[in-house]
Amino acid sequence: MRVRHKPWAAEKLAEYPEYAITDLIDLKGKWQSAFKKKGPLHVEVGSGKGQFIVGMAKQNPDINYIGIELQTSVAVMALDKIIEAELPNVKLLNTDGGLLSDYFEDGEVDRIYLNFSDPWPKNRHAKRRLTHENFLDTYRKILIPKGSVHFKTDNQGLFEYSLASFSQFGMVIDQVWLNLHDSDFEGNIQTEYEEKFSSKGQPIYRVEAHFPS
């Protein structure tokens, strides 16, 4: 996602420690203590401007959410939505999804969401795809046994690649949607990218898959 560089973004994140966690290492294995209420921990990797994670947190007050976003100038836009909504069950981490096992203990996370991840269409960039086996290996470690990954995208190539990557990794594919918006799926929270692509008439693909143990 391309956004204007905001030199003040890191400082603003630091001003809201209740929403944007910067003291990461201290929380490894203790994420429940960072929230007002204990609850399942759901993590979105590549949370962008935050519409999904904030919408999910409003819809499910008993679940605790963490949005992981690499770009500081993007993460700060999600921060604005969280500040406005004053939600106790959502936090942001401005870091790389590939480093998650530095910040989460094995088995600490209940579910991972990936939404409209960058497709990186060139083969030589395959390792940057958030559904590449290297990322899957990290997700497997931090997830509970049989923990799941929920992924949606408009990009057919990335979707096909991801289904193959999940299966080659030994994951179980639980359900696949080839046109999410024309299905009976209930409670879908749209992301910013999802609104943009579906308004152009593009189908939205979705898959739920879990690790075997």
Q: Which is nearer to ligand SAM, 115 or 148 (CB)?
A: 115
Adjacent-strand bridge partners of 153:
205
Q: Which is nearer to ligand SAM, 64 or 73 (CB)?
A: 73
Which segment (5-13, 25-33, 65-73, 160-168) binds ligand SAM by CB under 6 A?
A: 65-73
Whole-angstrom distance, CA of residue 210 vs CA of residue 213? 9
Question: Considering the rule CB under 6 A, would residue 163 count as an interface residue with ligand SAM?
Answer: no
Q: What are phi and psi of 205, to 5 degrees?
A: -95, 145
Vertex 187 angle, CA 143 and 36, to 5°: 55
**Residue 182 annotated to the active site:** no
Does 98 sit near ligand SAM (CB under 6 A)?
yes
Options 105, 110, 192, 208; binder of ligand SAM; rule CB under 6 A: 192
Q: Rounded distance, CA 55 to CA 10, Å?
A: 24
Structure tokens at 152: 């949606």
Per CB under 6 A, the list member of 27, 41, 63, 74 interacting with ligand SAM is: 74
Residue number with CB closer to ligand SAM (33 or 122)? 122
Residue tagged active-site, from 62, 96, 118, 184: 118
For β-strands 41-45 and 64-68, DSSP reports them as parallel
Q: Which is nearer to ligand SAM, 32 or 71 (CB)?
A: 71
Of 128, 125, 131, nearest to 160 by C-alpha is 131
Contact 14, 81 (CB under 8 A): no
Asked if 114 contacts 151 with a C-beta cutoff of 8 angstroms, the reply is yes
Site size toward ligand SAM, by CB under 6 A? 21
Contact 29, 108 (CB under 8 A): yes
Q: Is 97 in the site for ligand SAM (CB under 6 A)?
A: yes
> How many Å apart are CA 41 and CA 139, to the nearest integer?
13
Task: Considering only the stretches 34-42, 82-90, 94-102, 175-183, report the one whose residues sit in contact with ligand SAM under the rule CB under 6 A.
Answer: 94-102
Figure out which of the listed residues 9, 54, 63, 68 binds ligand SAM, where binding follows CB under 6 A. Answer: 68
In this chain, which stretch among 67-75, 79-87, 141-149, 181-189 interacts with ligand SAM, using CB under 6 A? 67-75
- Residue among 22 and 38 whose Cβ is closer to ligand SAM: 22
**Residues 26, 32, 37, 40, CA torsion sign:** positive
Q: Which residues are annotated as catalytic?
A: 118
What is the binding site for ligand SAM (CB under 6 A)?
Answer: 1, 45-48, 68-71, 74, 96-98, 115-118, 191-194
